[in-house]
A and B are shown apart, each in its own frame.
Chain A
Amino acid sequence: MGRGYYWLLMGLLLLVGCDSHPPAPSRAMAVANALGGESAGFARASGPRTFQFPADHGAHRDYRNEWWYLTGHLEDEAGGRYGFQITFFRIGLRPTPVRRSSAWATHEVWMGHLAISDGVDGHFYAFERFSRGAAELAGVQAAPFKVWIEDWQLAEQGDGQWRLQASAAGVAIDLLLRADKPVVLQGEGGLSQKSAEVGNASYYYSLPRMSAHGHLTTTAGGPHPVSGSGWLDREWSTSALAPDQQGWDWFSLQLEDGRELMYYRLRRHDGSVDPHSAGAIIDVDGQLHPLTPQDVQLEPEQFWESPQGGRYPVGWRMAVAPLGRVLRIAPLLPQQELDLTVRYWEGAVLATTLEGAPLAGRGYLEMTGYAP
C-alpha cells in the first residue's frame, strides 16, 4: 500500500505555502520543512518497468521518495492482540551525489516511524527518528536485504527470513518474518497512478502476507512471545498527488479465506471521491483483480476525536461488490494517531461481516488529511 503519500503531500504543502508559518515547536517539523525539496533532476514514474528481485528491495535513488512500510497483527499466547507499524522513509535531497571528503556528507535523509498498538491494555505508542543516509547511520542494501535507521532495522537472515528489530523508550519489537505469498505488483504491472498528470505515479509492490513470530515488549511488560502476520508495502516515486487532493482512507486487509483486499480512496478538498482511487483483491495464489471506485462503497460508522484536533472516521461499513460481501471495520484501538512531524491515523483494524459472523479479516487502515 502507499501510506507514505501523506508524507509527500505534507512535504509539498510545506514547500508551497507553509514557509511563513511561525517557527515549528520541534526540530522534527523543521527537518520536515527541508524535505519537501526540489523534484528537479529526479526521474518520474511515467511508464511500465521490469521489476527484478532482490535488486528492487534496495534503493532507487533516481526517485526522490521511497519507503519500506511494514504493518501487521500479532497475538500473544493468551490471545491478546497487538498491531505494529514500522516505516523507513528515504528522502532524496539531490539526485546526484557531490564528491566530498567527509563521511557524513549526505544527499538523502531518512525518517523512521515506529508504532505499536497494545490491544491488551489499550496503549498506543508512536516514535519517530531522523538520520542521514551517510556514515552508515541509515541506509538500505539489496542483497542481502537490509534497511536501517540507526538501531531500527529490517534485515534478511541467512535462511531467507527477514528480521525486524526496533526499540524506543521501553517498547521493543523483534520479529522473524517469512513471505507466504510472492511479490505482488500493484496498479498496472507495478505502476500506480495517483493523479492525472503523467509521472504523478509511483512504482508499487507488496508482500501482502508474511507470517511473523518473535517477541514484543511494551512498557506494561515483556518480552512476550507473539506470532501473527505482516504486510510489506514498497513504493518509490518523485511526485504523486495533485493539488486538489486532500487525503485518503487506505485499507489493507488480510481476509480469513486467504485473499487480501487493498483499497485507497483519495478524497478531494470538496469532499468528493477522486477517480484515481483504486485497489485490488489478491487471490490465494497471488493473482491480482483490480478494484475501481465503483466497486467499493464506504460509509463511516464510528468516529474518534483527536485531542490535537481533527475527527477521524475510525469505524467503517465497506461494501465490496466483486467480493460479494459487506464488511464492518472496527479499530483495535480508537486512538491510533501518530502525533509526529506529520500527524496521521494509522492503526490495526478488525473486519467482520455485516451479519456478525466471526472474524472476516484483519489489517491496517491509514487516514490522512483529517488533522486541521
Chain B
Amino acid sequence: MRLLLRATRRELLRHAGQSTLAVLGIALGVAVVVAVALANESARRAFGLAMEEVTGAATHQVVAGPQGFPEQIYLQLRRAGLRDAAPVVEGYLTVAGEPLQLIGIDPFAETGVRRHTAQLGGETLRQLLLEPGAVVMAATTAERLALAPGDHFSATAAGVEQRLLLAGLIELEGRSAPGLEGLVFADIATAQELLQREGRLDRLDLVAPSAETLAAIAAQLPAGVGIQPAAAHAEENLALTRAFQTNLTAMSLLALVIGAFLIYNTATFSVLRRRALIGSLRLVGVSRRQIFVLVLGEAAILGALGALLGLGAGHLLGRLLVGLVTRTINDLYFVLTVTEFLPAPAPYLWGALLGVGVSVLAALPPAMEAARISPLEVRRRSSVELASRQRAGQRLALGLVALLVGWGLLALPGLVAGFGALFLILLGGALFAPLLLVGVGRIAVVPLGRGFGTIGRQAARGIAGGHSRSAVAVAALAVAISATVGVGVMVESFRSSVDAWLGERLQADLYLAAPGGLSASQSAPLLPEVVARAQALPEVTAMSFGRRVTVASSSGPVQLLALEPHPQRRPGFPLLAGDPERAWAAFNEGSGLLISEPLAQQGGLAVGDDLHLGRFAEGVTLPVVGIFREYGSNQGVVLLRLAHYRRLWGDEALSSTGLYLRPGADPAAVEQRLRAALADLPQRPFIRSTAAIRHTSMEVFDRTFLITRVLRLLAIVVAFVGVLSALMALALERAREHAVLRATGLTPAGLFGLVGLQTGLLGATAGVLALPLGLVMALILIEVINRRAFGWGMTLTLPWEVLGQALLLAVVAALLAGLWPAWRIARTPPALALREE
C-alpha cells in the first residue's frame, strides 16, 4: 500500500504540469456548473422570496382578467363582515430606467397577511395615507436608486411621469429582506391613482378562509372573477423560466464534459507512461484491483482538487452571472430584481460531487486498461500504440453506438431528452477523433513533405503515430469548437429570423407606445389625448391600434394582442399554418383566434383546436384559425381584433399605435412634430421609427444571448487548457526523440517548427471534426431544443464567417497552446534530454 501511495505521489508531483492542467480543467468545468446553478438558484429564490412578500400568508386569491375587478365587490364583502382579506392593486413603476413592482395595499386590512407592511406605522403610515404619491421600499432598493426617506423622485407609472415621495423604508427588525428587493408599496388609494386603476382591484388575498367563507365569497363574485390558490400565480411565472434555466444548466454541463476529457487525458497518459512501473508493481505482488484503485484514486484526487478550486471560482463567477440571468428573465418574462446573491448549499454540493464523479468516471477506461497490464507485459511504447490503435476500432464502435442512441433519443419528448441526445451525439462524434487523426496524418504526409521537407513529413507521421495522446486533445478541442459552431449557427439563424420577422411585423412608419412597457409582460395605457393628437397630424394617413394584456387561457397565461390593423392592409403576421384568407376573415369577424408558434407548440394547439381565453367563466372560446411566427414573447400570444376584445373585456385602453405616413413624408421630421404636439401632455410616450425599433429589438436580442456567449467562451477556455495539457504531455513524451533529432543536426528553430506544425495539424483536425459536429448541434438546437424550450421555430442560416472562425479558432488555439511546449523543447539541450531518458 505504501508503495502505491508513493507511486501516486511521485506521479502527481513529477508531472505537476500535467496534473495542474487537469485540475484546472475540472476546476473550470465545476466553476461554470456551480456558477450557473447558483445564478439560477439565486434568481429562483429571489423570485420565491419576492412572491412571499407579495402574497404573504395568503392562501387564496380572488383574481380576474386584465382589468381586475370592481372594488365594490370587495367593499361589500368587507362591510358584510369578511375578515382576513387584503385587497391589492398592483402594477409597475419605472424609476431611473429600472422597473419596479408597485403593490397597493390597505394597511388596515393587512393584519396577518404581509409581514413587512404590517410593520408600517408612525409618520410613514401617516404620509402613505395622506400624501398622494407616497411609497415605501426596501432600504437596499432605495440605496440603489440613491434615495433617502423624505426624497421626492420621478417615476413612470401607467405611462405617465409622476412625482413620488419616499415616505419611509420597509424593514423587519432593522433588516431589509432580500425578497423586498424591487418592490414598492403604497396605500391602495395611491396605487389606484398612479396606475389609473380607480375603482378596480387586481387581487384580494385571503388568509386560510373556511370552506363556508370561500363559498360565501364565490357566491358574490360575478362572471370572470374567481378564487384560486395563492401559489398558482407564482407557479405560472416560474414555469415560464424553467426552460430558460434548463438551457443554461445544459450549457454549463458542456463545460464540465470538456473538463472530463482532460481528466481522461491525464489518466490515460499516466497509465501509458507508467506501463513499465505498473508491470513491475504487479511483479512484486500488487493486485489488479489495487492498480485499478490507484489510477481511479489519482483521478479522484485531481478531481477533488479541481472541484475545490471550482467551487471557489464558481462562487465568484456566479455573482457575475446572476446579473445576466436576471436581465434575461426581465427581458423575456417578468420583472425580477435580484441584487442579492443568494448562495444555497445545493449547487456547491452538486458541483463538488459532479467534479469528483466525472473525474472518476473519466478515469475509468484508463484504470481498466491499467488493471489489464500483466506483470510480464513490460513493453515499449510502440507496442502500446499498436494496442491503442486496435482499441481505436472499439472506440469507433462505441462512438457509432452513442450516435445511434442519441439519434433515437431525439424521438423522445422533453427538453432533458433533447439535451441528452445532444450530448450523446457530441460524444459519439468526438470518439471519431482518433480515426480522423490517423487519416489526417496519412493524408498530410504528402503535402507537408512537399512544403516543409523532412520536418513536414515527420510532423505528419508524428500525429498519426502518437494519436492515442493527441486524439483526446483533438476530441476535447473539437467538442468545444463544435459547441461554438452549434451555438453560433443557432444564434445567427435566430437573429436573422428575428430580423426578418421584425421587418414583416413593423409595417407602419412610426410607433407610439406608453412609456413603462419595459418587459413583455407589462403594457401601460396610452392617454387618449396622445392618440387623438397623433391622428390629427396632417402627414398621418392611417393608423393601427394595439392593446397588449396578459390574460388567462386554457393553455396558461397568454398575451392577448388586440389589434385594429391598417384599414387597407393585412397585418404583418405571415402564417405558418392555416389558410390566410379564411384566417383573416375570421379575425375580422371575431370568429377565430390567431396564435403564436410558441403557444401552438407548448399548448399542443393546431389549427381547428379550441382555445378558451379568460379565467373562470369570463372570456370566450374560439377555434384557432392560424399560427404565426412570434419572437416577441414565448409566453404565447393570441391575436384578436381590437373591437372584439373591447366588447369582451370592456377595456378601452390602447397600449400602442402605429402611424402610416403620407408617401414622401420623412419619419424623423414627423417624429419631431409629434413630440412638439405632445409636449404639454402629462404622458411622454415612446415614439420610435420602425428602424429604431428594429435596432433596439436586436440590441435586446443580443443582450439576451450575452450569457450564452459567455458560457461558450468559458467552454473554449477549458478546451484550450485541454489542448495545452495534451501538447505538453506529447512534448515531454517525445523529449528523447526530439533530442535525437537535435543531436542529428536539427536546429532549435527547426524543432520549434516541427512541434508547431504538429500542433497546427492537431488544431486543424479538431476544426474539421468540429464543423460537422457543430452543424449537427446547431440543427438539434434549432429543431429540437429551441422548439421544446421556447416553441420558437427559425430558419437555418449558415453564417460562413462562423464556420471559418471555428476552423481558425481550432488552429489558433492549438498553435497557441503548442507555443510553450514547443519553446521548451527547442530550448532543452539535447544532451540533457538524452541523459534524462
Q: Which A residues fall within an 8 A CB radius of B?
A: 14, 19, 23-24, 26-34, 37, 93-94, 98, 100-107, 109, 130-132, 134-137, 148, 150-151, 167
**B115-133 Cβ-contact flags toward A at 8 Å (1 or 0):** 0001111111110011010
Those 9 A-B pairs whose CB atoms lie nearest each other, nearest first:
A30-B121, A151-B81, A104-B189, A102-B189, A33-B121, A34-B125, A33-B122, A105-B189, A27-B118
Determine if A33 and B125 form an interchain contact, defined as CB atoms under 8 angstroms apart: yes
Determine if A31 and B108 form an interchain contact, defined as CB atoms under 8 angstroms apart: yes
B273 at the binding interface (Cβ < 8 Å): no
Question: What residue in chain A is nearest B188 (Cβ atoms)?
Answer: A104
- The one of B71, B130, B174, B190 in contact with A135, judged by C-beta atoms closer than 8 angstroms, is B71
Determine if A30 and B118 form an interchain contact, defined as CB atoms under 8 angstroms apart: yes
Question: In the complex, what distance in Å separates the CA atom of A93 from the CA atom of B172?
Answer: 26
Determine if A109 and B122 form an interchain contact, defined as CB atoms under 8 angstroms apart: no
Determine if A134 and B189 form an interchain contact, defined as CB atoms under 8 angstroms apart: yes
- The one of B75, B123, B174, B193 in contact with A102, judged by C-beta atoms closer than 8 angstroms, is B193
Question: What residue in chain A is nearest B76 (Cβ atoms)?
Answer: A136
- The one of A14, A23, A32, A94 in contact with B173, judged by C-beta atoms closer than 8 angstroms, is A23
CB contacts (< 8 Å) of A131 on chain B: these are 108-109
- The one of B118, B129, B173, B190 in contact with A93, judged by C-beta atoms closer than 8 angstroms, is B129
- The one of A103, A130, A132 in contact with B198, judged by C-beta atoms closer than 8 angstroms, is A103
CB contacts (< 8 Å) of A109 on chain B: these are 108, 129
Question: What residue in chain A is nearest B174 (Cβ atoms)?
Answer: A23
A-B contact count (CB 8 A): 100
CB contacts (< 8 Å) of B107 on chain A: these are 27, 31
Determine if B106 and A150 form an interchain contact, defined as CB atoms under 8 angstroms apart: no
CB contacts (< 8 Å) of B81 on chain A: these are 150-151, 167
CB contacts (< 8 Å) of A137 on chain B: these are 75, 78-79
CB contacts (< 8 Å) of A14 on chain B: these are 122
CB distance from A234 to the nearest CB of B (A): 23
- The one of B80, B119, B173 in contact with A27, judged by C-beta atoms closer than 8 angstroms, is B119
- The one of B75, B132, B174, B189 in contact with A136, judged by C-beta atoms closer than 8 angstroms, is B75
Q: Count chain B CB atoms within 10 A of each CB in A24, A29, A135 and give the residue with the most.
A: A135
Question: In the complex, what distance in Å separates the CA atom of A137 from the CA atom of B199?
Answer: 14
CB contacts (< 8 Å) of A94 on chain B: these are 130
B337 at the binding interface (Cβ < 8 Å): no
- The one of B110, B121, B172 in contact with A32, judged by C-beta atoms closer than 8 angstroms, is B121
B187 at the binding interface (Cβ < 8 Å): yes
Determine if B189 and A150 form an interchain contact, defined as CB atoms under 8 angstroms apart: no
Question: In the complex, what distance in Å separates the CA atom of A26 from the CA atom of B198?
Answer: 30
Question: In the complex, what distance in Å separates the CA atom of A80 from the CA atom of B281?
Answer: 100
CB distance from B86 to the nearest CB of A (A): 11
Question: What residue in chain A is nearest B192 (Cβ atoms)?
Answer: A102
CB contacts (< 8 Å) of A31 on chain B: these are 107-108, 121, 125
CB contacts (< 8 Å) of B188 on chain A: these are 102, 104
Give the interface size bracket for B toward A.
35 or more
CB contacts (< 8 Å) of A19 on chain B: these are 122
A-B contact pairs, 21 of them (CB 8 A): A19-B122, A23-B171, A23-B172, A24-B119, A26-B118, A27-B119, A28-B111, A30-B119, A30-B121, A30-B125, A34-B121, A34-B129, A102-B193, A103-B71, A106-B129, A131-B108, A132-B108, A134-B189, A136-B75, A136-B79, A150-B78
Question: In the complex, what distance in Å separates the CA atom of A107 from the CA atom of B189?
Answer: 11
Question: In the complex, what distance in Å separates the CA atom of A130 from the CA atom of B83?
Answer: 12
Interface of A is mostly: loop
CB contacts (< 8 Å) of A28 on chain B: these are 111
**B131-173 Cβ-contact flags toward A at 8 Å (1 or 0):** 0100000000000000000000000000000000000000111
Q: Count chain A CB atoms within 10 A of each CB in B71, B108, B111, B189 and give the residue with the most.
A: B108
Determine if A104 and B80 form an interchain contact, defined as CB atoms under 8 angstroms apart: no
CB distance from A51 to the nearest CB of B (A): 30
| Residues A101 and B193 in contact in the complex (CB < 8 Å), given A30-B122, A34-B125, A137-B75 | yes
| Residues A93 and B126 in contact in the complex (CB < 8 Å), given A104-B106, A130-B108 | yes
CB contacts (< 8 Å) of B111 on chain A: these are 27-28
Determine if B108 and A104 form an interchain contact, defined as CB atoms under 8 angstroms apart: no
Determine if B79 and A151 form an interchain contact, defined as CB atoms under 8 angstroms apart: yes
Taking CB atoms and an 8 Å cut-off, the chain B residues in 438-454 that contact chain A are: none
CB distance from B106 to the nearest CB of A (A): 7
Question: In the complex, what distance in Å separates the CA atom of A295 from the CA atom of B125?
Answer: 45
Question: In the complex, what distance in Å separates the CA atom of A28 from the CA atom of B188?
Answer: 18
CB contacts (< 8 Å) of B106 on chain A: these are 104, 132
Question: What residue in chain B is nearest A134 (Cβ atoms)?
Answer: B189
Question: In the complex, what distance in Å separates the CA atom of A148 from the CA atom of B80?
Answer: 11
Further contacts, 13 of them, CB under 8 A, given A27-B111, A34-B121, A132-B129: A29-B121, A34-B122, A93-B126, A98-B132, A101-B198, A102-B188, A102-B198, A104-B189, A109-B108, A131-B109, A132-B106, A134-B189, A135-B75
Question: In the complex, what distance in Å separates the CA atom of A202 from the CA atom of B108?
Answer: 27
CB contacts (< 8 Å) of B110 on chain A: these are 27
Question: What residue in chain B is nearest A32 (Cβ atoms)?
Answer: B121
CB distance from A243 to the nearest CB of B (A): 20
Taking CB atoms and an 8 Å cut-off, the chain B residues in 163-214 that contact chain A are: 171-174, 187-190, 192-193, 198-199
Question: What residue in chain A is nearest B125 (Cβ atoms)?
Answer: A34
Question: In the complex, what distance in Å separates the CA atom of A129 from the CA atom of B113?
Answer: 15
CB contacts (< 8 Å) of A167 on chain B: these are 81
| Residues A34 and B123 in contact in the complex (CB < 8 Å), given A94-B130, A150-B79 | yes
Question: What residue in chain A is nearest B112 (Cβ atoms)?
Answer: A27
CB contacts (< 8 Å) of B121 on chain A: these are 24, 27, 29-34
Question: In the complex, what distance in Å separates the CA atom of A363 from the CA atom of B524?
Answer: 60
Question: In the complex, what distance in Å separates the CA atom of A30 from the CA atom of B107?
Answer: 10
Question: In the complex, what distance in Å separates the CA atom of A148 from the CA atom of B79?
Answer: 9
Question: In the complex, what distance in Å separates the CA atom of A93 from the CA atom of B108?
Answer: 15
CB contacts (< 8 Å) of A24 on chain B: these are 119, 121
CB distance from A153 to the nearest CB of B (A): 9
Question: In the complex, what distance in Å separates the CA atom of A122 from the CA atom of B110?
Answer: 32
Question: In the complex, what distance in Å separates the CA atom of A148 from the CA atom of B81?
Answer: 12
CB distance from B473 to the nearest CB of A (A): 62
CB contacts (< 8 Å) of B129 on chain A: these are 34, 93, 106-107, 109, 132
Question: In the complex, what distance in Å separates the CA atom of A294 from the CA atom of B126?
Answer: 43
CB distance from B579 to the nearest CB of A (A): 48
- The one of A23, A27, A104, A136 in contact with B187, judged by C-beta atoms closer than 8 angstroms, is A104
CB distance from A335 to the nearest CB of B (A): 24
CB contacts (< 8 Å) of A103 on chain B: these are 71, 189, 198-199
Question: In the complex, what distance in Å separates the CA atom of A137 from the CA atom of B82?
Answer: 12
Question: In the complex, what distance in Å separates the CA atom of A105 from the CA atom of B198?
Answer: 10
CB contacts (< 8 Å) of A151 on chain B: these are 79-81
CB contacts (< 8 Å) of B193 on chain A: these are 100-102, 105
Determine if B80 and A93 form an interchain contact, defined as CB atoms under 8 angstroms apart: no
| Residues A106 and B189 in contact in the complex (CB < 8 Å), given A31-B107, A31-B121, A100-B132 | yes
Q: Count chain B CB atoms within 10 A of each CB in A26, A28, A101, A105 and give the residue with the most.
A: A105
CB contacts (< 8 Å) of A33 on chain B: these are 121-122, 125
Question: What residue in chain A is nearest B111 (Cβ atoms)?
Answer: A27
Taking CB atoms and an 8 Å cut-off, the chain B residues in 541-585 that contact chain A are: none
CB distance from A33 to the nearest CB of B (A): 4
Question: In the complex, what distance in Å separates the CA atom of A7 from the CA atom of B106?
Answer: 23
CB contacts (< 8 Å) of A104 on chain B: these are 71, 106, 187-189, 192
Question: What residue in chain A is nearest B131 (Cβ atoms)?
Answer: A98
Q: Count chain A CB atoms within 10 A of each CB in B124, B132, B189 and give the residue with the most.
A: B189
Taking CB atoms and an 8 Å cut-off, the chain B residues in 65-122 that contact chain A are: 71, 75, 78-81, 106-111, 118-122
Question: What residue in chain A is nearest B121 (Cβ atoms)?
Answer: A30
Q: Count chain B CB atoms within 10 A of each CB in A27, A37, A93, A109 and give the residue with the most.
A: A27
Question: In the complex, what distance in Å separates the CA atom of A101 from the CA atom of B189?
Answer: 8
Question: In the complex, what distance in Å separates the CA atom of A368 from the CA atom of B752?
Answer: 98
CB contacts (< 8 Å) of A102 on chain B: these are 188-190, 192-193, 198
CB distance from A138 to the nearest CB of B (A): 9
CB contacts (< 8 Å) of B78 on chain A: these are 137, 150
CB contacts (< 8 Å) of A26 on chain B: these are 118
Question: In the complex, what distance in Å separates the CA atom of A101 from the CA atom of B81?
Answer: 26
Question: In the complex, what distance in Å separates the CA atom of A100 from the CA atom of B125?
Answer: 18
CB contacts (< 8 Å) of B189 on chain A: these are 100, 102-106, 134
